[in-house]
Amino acid sequence: KEIISSMYAERMGQLPPYLFARIDEMKAAKIRSGVDVIDLGVGDPDLPTPGHVVEALCEAAHEPRNHHYPSYAGMETFRTAVADWYRSRFSVSLDPGKEVLALMGSKDGIAHIPEAFVNPGDYVLAPSPGYPVYRTSTLFAEGNVYEMPLLAKNQFLPDLSAIPEKVAKAARLMFLNYPNNPTSAVTLPGFFEEAVDFALDQEILIVHDNAYSEIAFDGYQAPSFLSTEGAMETAIEMHSLSKTYNMTGWRIGMACGNPDIIAGLARVKTNVDSGVFDAVQKAAIAALTGPQDCIRDACRTYQERRDVLIKGLGALGFEVQAPKATFYVWMEVDDCMQFATRLLDEAGIVVTPGVGFGSGGDGYIRFALTRSTGRIQEAVDRMGDLVS
Cis check: omega of the bond before 179, within 30 degrees of 0:
yes
Confidence of residue 19 (pLDDT cuts 50, 70, 90): low
Residue 288 vs residue 6, higher pLDDT: 288
**pTM of this structure:** 0.96
* Residue % of the chain over a pLDDT of 90: 91
Among 47, 43, 51, 41, residue whose Cα is nearest residue 372: 47
Mean pLDDT of 325-337: 96
Has residue 17 got a pLDDT over 70? Answer: no
> Distances in Å between the alpha carbon of 130 and those of 1, 150, 266, 268?
34, 9, 24, 24
Mean pLDDT over all residues of the chain?
95
Has residue 232 got a pLDDT over 80? Answer: yes
Least confident of 1-15, 71-85, 92-106, 273-287: 1-15
Has residue 371 got a pLDDT over 90? Answer: yes
160-191 tens-digit pLDDT:
999 999 999 999 999 999 999 999 999 999 99
Name the 3-class secondary structure at 341.
Answer: helix
Confidence of residue 23 (pLDDT cuts 50, 70, 90): confident
26-74 tens-digit pLDDT:
889 999 999 999 999 988 999 999 999 999 999 999 999 999 999 999 9
Residue type, 84: D
Are 313 and 322 contacting, i.e. CB atoms less than 8 angstroms apart?
A: no
Among 223, 216, 249, residue whose Cα is nearest residue 326: 216
* Residue % of the chain over a pLDDT of 70: 98
Mean pLDDT of 248-276: 97
pLDDT of res. 7:
85
Confidence of residue 249 (pLDDT cuts 50, 70, 90): very high
Identify the H or E element spanning 25.
Answer: helix 19-32
